[in-house]
Amino acid sequence: MFEGFAEERVGTGEAELFVRHGGSGPPVLLLHGHPRTHATWHRVAPSLADGHTVVCPDLRGYGRSSKPETTADHEPYSKRAMARDCLALMRALGHERFAVVGHDRGTYVAQRLAMDHPDAVTRLVVMDGVPIGEVLARADARFAEAWWHWFFLGQTSRPAERVINADPDAWYGATAETMGAEAYEDYRRAIHDPATVHAMCEDYRAGLGVDRAADDVDRRAGRRIACPVLFLWAARDDMEDLYGDPLEIWRDWADDLRGGSVDSGHHIAEEAPAELAAELRRFLGEVAKEVTPAPDPAPSHPLV
C-alpha cells in the first residue's frame, strides 16, 4: 500500500498522529471514518498523488494514532479537537492552506476544520454524512432503526466496549476481499485493540454532546463554510432514504456547493476508488488552477 509515501508519527501538541504522505502539488488531507484507518484510502491516494501532495492520517483514537485520556464531557474526542490535530499536522508538514476530504466520521472532522479554520481550508469534500446537529435534529424512528449504533456506542455507561471486544471481527464484519489484504490487516489491528475501541466509542459520545452543541451554535449564529464544497454520497447506502436530496441540507451550510451520488456502497474509497478519484481530481484540480493557471478550462463537473 501507498508505494512511494513516507510514513511517520507527528505530534500535534495534544496527540500523536500516525500518517502517510506522498506526491507533490497542492496539498489535500484525507480523513477516514469509523471503524476504518488511513488505509481506507489506499486505492485512491496514489492516483491523487499524481498532481497533489496527499496526507492520510489516522485520526486521534483510531488506528496507530495516540489515544488521549477521556473526560466526562468527551471533549478530547470532539470533532473540534480532531480538527485541531489536523491543522497542527498539516502545518508540521509545511502546509498552511490545503483541501480536506472526509468520509463518514471524517466528514464531521473535515466540516469542523473548515468552520473553525476557514483561512486554512481551500476546498472541502464531505462524503456520506450531513452535519451532526442536522442528523440529530432530524432523528426519527426510521433513523433510529437504521443508525441505532450511534446511540449504542454513545452510551456513557460503556456497554459497547464490552460487546465489541468480545468478538470485534463479528461486530464489524469487514472482509479482506472488499478492503484489500493490507488495509484489512491494518483495520483488524485497530479493532482488536481495546484502547482503540474505547476511543471510537468516545467519538460517538462526543457526537451526541459537544459536537452537536458546536453545530447548533454555528447554525444559530448563521455561520457558513467559506470555501467551495463537494458533497458525495453512496447511491447504495441510505442518504436519500433518510433525507431525500441531502444536498438540500448542505445548502444551509455552504454557498458554493455541488455534489451527487456515486454508484457504491457506504465505503466509497474501497468500493468505487476509480470513480471517486476522478471526482476528487476534477474538484481539487480547480484549486491547482488557482495556483498555476492552465490554458484549457477544466471540463464541467458531471454531478449536479
pLDDT tens by residue, 38-59: 999 999 999 999 999 999 999 9
In a domain, 297, yes or no: no
Residue 290: the pLDDT is: 42
Catalytic residue among 58, 104, 203, 237: 104
In a domain, 300, yes or no: no
Q: Is the pLDDT of residue 196 over 90?
A: yes
Question: Hey, how many other C-beta atoms are within 10 angstroms of the C-beta on 4?
Answer: 8
Domain that holds residue 15: 6-291
Question: Hey, how many other C-beta atoms are within 10 angstroms of the C-beta on 21?
Answer: 25
In a domain, 136, yes or no: yes
> What is the value of pTM for the model shown?
0.93
CA 158 to CA 75: how far, in whole Å?
16
Clarify whether 74 is annotated catalytic: no
Clarify whether 252 is annotated catalytic: no
In a domain, 161, yes or no: yes
CA 297 to CA 289: how far, in whole Å?
9
**Residue 293 corresponds to which cell in the numbers above?**
493557471
80: left (phi over 0), alpha (psi -120 to 50) or beta: alpha
Average pLDDT over residues 263-277: 97
Banded pLDDT at 156 (limits 50, 70, 90): confident
pLDDT tens digits along 210-243:
999 999 999 999 999 999 999 999 999 999 999 9
Q: Is the pLDDT of residue 300 over 60?
A: no
DSSP state at residue 69: P
Number of structural domains (the chain) is: 1
Please name the residue that has the C-alpha cell 486554512: 120
In a domain, 157, yes or no: yes
Strand order from edge to edge, sheet including 98-103: 6-11, 16-23, 53-57, 27-31, 98-103, 121-127, 229-234, 257-262
Task: Name, in order, each residue with C-beta under 8 angstroms of 248's C-beta and a sequence gap of 6 or more.
Answer: none
Catalytic residue among 116, 193, 216, 266: 266
Q: Is the pLDDT of residue 296 over 50?
A: no
CB-count burial class (<10 Å; 0-12, 13-18, 19+) for 8: exposed
CA 219 to CA 196: how far, in whole Å?
32
In a domain, 301, yes or no: no
What CATH number is associated with residue 248?
3.40.50.1820
Banded pLDDT at 299 (limits 50, 70, 90): very low
Write the CA distances from 299 to 233, 282, 285, 296, integer angstroms.
21, 8, 11, 9
Interstrand relation of 27-31 and 98-103 (parallel, antiparallel or unpaired): parallel
In a domain, 299, yes or no: no
